[in-house]
Amino acid sequence: MMKAPTEPTSPAAGEPSPPSFALGLGLTNECNLACAFCYRDPTRTDRLSLAQVRSVLDRVPVRSVNLGTGENGMHPEFRSFLAELRARPLKLTITSNGHSIAVLEDAELGAFSDIEFSLDYPSEAEQDAQRGAGNWALLHEQAARCRRLGVPVTFIAVMMKSNYRRLSEIAAIVARRYDAPLRVNVYQAVRSDAFALTYEEYWEGFRALFAATDVIAIGEPLVRAMAGLEQRRAGCGVGTIRVTPRGTTQPCVYWPGHGAALDALLESGSTILDSEPFRAARSLPKACEPCQFRDTCRGGCAGRRRLLGALDAPDPYCPVLRGERPRLDIRFLPARDLPKSESACTTIVMGRA
């Protein structure tokens, strides 16, 4: 197995990097779709104000901003937010099902360093059955438009029970059509465990993905450890902050609960890393202390452990507990400048088109 030549040297295990944050903003939790596996709260409508966003940007050193959670284009002041963000010295990205991109003019798309489209299945019938009629056509139409305009695109898929064997098919499609990478997040049971992977499905999913793609970055902690990589320099609890549409802050988009009041972030600034949720997000379970992979893995995904009510226990997908060492056939590509590569427990691959 070859080690990625571009992997950076990381700080000491569990210690935060010098603060410069990847900021996730959910301007609204509204969406034109109602996907069963989504983590957003569909029972209420919440929106950030432009004043709140300005206050965060003025108080916290930010290197990149991603607009996520709902369809941000449904916020009535979406263009005002966009104008404010593009005037700042940061990299701006957005994650969308296509709707938020369709409402923007061509010139406005140039504000984004990267535009992410959510694609979870390799066929129109499957995508539309899960997300809604016409979604496949919309996101491909908008991705093609972005590429014509010279705006980079990435696709993002959730690895879950209904698609874990087929992610490489998606990667091949988007590589061939758009020269675009695929970013993969493991499903987290925020609202339901219906789409959650079993231990066997989790590892089969990554083996199948890596067998047919080339890897740009691995952020999923257990997979990173099994790949023989060093500890990440950023990630949840270290280099990311999430501001929710409710005006609260969290260390991870999947962190359970409503989050701390935004005032706590505005008062603390970079020292928000010292608050209990951020410390918890980088905590190491006691059972993991003697493990040879502890510095890289840090007990696995803290958000997943917290969702399961077992923050102090190892990640349930941990193979070491079972006396196993999954074999991963990984071929790395040179690093690419992708703003989301260090922002979450995410894995980025390029399909072999």
Query: What CATH number is attached to the domain comprising 86?
Result: 3.20.20.70
The answer to which of 7-21, 36-50, 256-270, 280-294 has the lowest mean pLDDT is 7-21
Residue 224 in contact with residue 296, Cβ under 8 Å?
yes
> Domain for residue 13, yes or no?
no
The answer to which of 156-165, 229-238, 281-290 has the lowest mean pLDDT is 229-238
Is residue 318 scored above 60 in pLDDT? yes
Residue 241 in contact with residue 24, Cβ under 8 Å?
yes
Is residue 219 scored above 50 in pLDDT? yes
> Domain for residue 150, yes or no?
yes
| Band of pLDDT at residue 301, cut at 50, 70 and 90 | very high
Tell me whether residue 114 is exposed, middle or buried, using C-beta atoms within 10 angstroms of its C-beta: 0 to 12, 13 to 18, 19 or more.
buried
Look at residues 176, 212, 233, 172 and name the one whose alpha carbon lies nearest to residue 6.
233
Geometric angle at alpha carbon 247, from 243 and 251, rounded to 5°? 30
The whole-number average pLDDT for the span 194-219 is: 96
pLDDT of residue 192: 78
**Dihedral angle over CA of 84, 86, 89, 93, nearest 10:** 120
> Domain for residue 282, yes or no?
no
| Band of pLDDT at residue 343, cut at 50, 70 and 90 | low
CA distance 129 to 312: 38
| Band of pLDDT at residue 345, cut at 50, 70 and 90 | confident
Residues 6+ apart with CB under 8 A from 275: 260, 264, 268
pLDDT tens for each residue of 83-103: 999 999 999 999 999 999 999
pLDDT of residue 100: 98
pLDDT of residue 227: 94
> Percentage of the chain surpassing pLDDT 90?
78
CA distance 252 to 240: 7
For the question of whether the overall pTM of this predicted structure is more than 0.85, the answer is yes
Is residue 186 scored above 50 in pLDDT? yes
> Domain for residue 239, yes or no?
yes
Is residue 111 scored above 50 in pLDDT? yes
> Domain for residue 70, yes or no?
yes
> Domain for residue 294, yes or no?
no
Look at residues 230, 338, 172 and name the one whose alpha carbon lies nearest to residue 346.
338
> Domain for residue 7, yes or no?
no
Is residue 45 scored above 60 in pLDDT? yes
Is residue 133 scored above 60 in pLDDT? yes
> Domain for residue 15, yes or no?
no
The whole-number average pLDDT for the span 142-170 is: 97
Is residue 305 scored above 50 in pLDDT? yes
The whole-number average pLDDT for the span 2-17 is: 40
Is residue 119 scored above 50 in pLDDT? yes
Helix (H, G, I), strand (E, B) or coil at 276: helix
CA distance 124 to 135: 8
pLDDT of residue 40: 72
Residue 38 identity: C
The two tokens of residue 124 are: 């129109």
The range of the structural domain enclosing residue 86 comes to 21-275+321-351
CA distance 190 to 349: 25
> Percentage of the chain surpassing pLDDT 70?
93
Q: How many residues does the chain have?
A: 353
pLDDT of residue 43: 80
Is residue 1 scored above 80 in pLDDT? no
pLDDT of residue 323: 95
Is residue 41 scored above 80 in pLDDT? no
Backbone φ, ψ for residue 240 (5° rounding): -125, 145
Number of folded domains that form the chain: 1
CA distance 64 to 89: 9
CA distance 239 to 291: 24
CA distance 266 to 302: 24
Mean predicted lDDT score pLDDT of the chain:
90
Look at residues 114, 137, 120, 156 and name the one whose alpha carbon lies nearest to residue 22.
114
Residue 62 in contact with residue 23, Cβ under 8 Å?
yes
